[in-house]
Structure 1
Amino acid sequence: MRQAQARQTGSARIIVLVVLLLIIVATLAGGGAWLLTGQQGARAATAKAKPAMPATPIFVKVAPFTVNLDSDACGPVLLYTGMTLKVADSDTAAFLNEHMPQVRSRLLMLLSGQDARELISPQGKQTLADSILEMLSTRLTDPQPTLAIDEVLFTEFIVQ
């Protein structure tokens, strides 16, 4: 009888140990899964929180030059200006650099017809920048890729 009781007690202990072992394994597995999903969520949140770096701007420098403007009551007027063109892609930059003599010639022709009194004001400079963008939208050669010029930036500007 004692042997039967001992076997039942031994069997009960083994069952209890197996059940405890299963509970521990299940708890560890659940905790591991929770940690992994928590870390992935944190990584995703960190990735979303980092602002995207803006694209590096591409600039095409136009060497400074002096232009005679329309004369006013005081006599001849000069414009000394330097500018940089902000472009959207390297193809546009390469094309403009290859055709810079034509670009400068068109700029000289456009600038020589300007009125000095209008160019002195900020609005006059903005109007001139808009006119330059419009002038650069006309084809320089045939065939020509579509040019992506975003902005005209005046780096030097003296009316005298």
Structure 2
Amino acid sequence: MSKAPGKPAAADAPAGKSKKKLFIMIGAAVLLLGAIGGGAVFMLSGKKNAKDKDKEHKEEVVKAPVFLALEPFIVNLQSDSGEKYLQVQMTLKVPDEAQSNLIKSNSPQVKSRLIMLLSSKDAAELLTPDGKDKLIKEIVEQVNLPFTSKGDPQKVSDVFFTSFVIQ
């Protein structure tokens, strides 16, 4: 079984052509997959950047709250066991400088309201965390009352005790 010199060349030629087609098809598939992957990365990064821009825009719109520190209060408390005093220092959280300035300009009314509220409290009640939480809500209510009969209420959202001593 001898092979003719012309036949092996003819057999190698079709195998070479099929390998060449295979490499071309693999290369095209790799390029196509690379293009799809690159497009996906580009699209996802574009969406992320759009989300980041929206988030930055929202952060610019949201203003930082303003904190207004009040002068310390010292009041007599209601107590069954002798005289008790409360010394408290607090800071109010308001949305902006306009609210802060409004409260400052009406500070005599604010102080009077808070002295009346604080002096009506029982010492034992204020020693508990629940008592302090209730007091915070009552302070917010009192300070938010309008300063004039038909005026707008203030916008105090929270109260922070910076000093709280009962003796």
Q: TM-score range with shorter-chain normalisation?
A: 0.5 to 0.7
The equivalent residue for 1:136 is 143
Identify if the C-alpha distance between structure 1 residues 99 and 148 changes in structure 2 by more than 3 Å, giving closer, same or farther.
same
Q: How does 1:63-142 map to 2 (within 5 A)?
A: 63-73=71-81, 75-142=82-149
**Secondary structure of 2:90 counterpart:** strand
TM-score, normalised via structure 1 length: 0.67
Give the ranges of 4+ consecutive aligned residues of structure 1 lying more than 6 Å apart after TM superposition: none
Q: Number of aligned pairs?
A: 126
Shift of 1:151: 0.7
The equivalent residue for 2:70 is 62
Higher relative contact order (CA 8 A, sep 6+): 1
Greater strand share, 1 or 2? 1
TM-score, normalised via structure 2 length: 0.65
Gaps of 5+ in 2: 1-34
Shift of 1:40: 7.6
What is the root-mean-square deviation in Å for CA atoms of aligned residues? 2.6
Shift of 1:143: 4.5
State the Cα deviation string for residues 34-79 of structure 1 (Å, max 9, x = none). Answer: 98xx768634413414755453121111111211111332x11010
Q: Is the Cα–Cα contact under 8 Å of residues 146 and 154 in structure 2 kept in the other structure?
A: no
Matched, 1:42 2:19: no
Read off the aligned partner of 1:42 and give its amino acid letter: S
> Identity over the aligned pairs, expressed in percent?
37
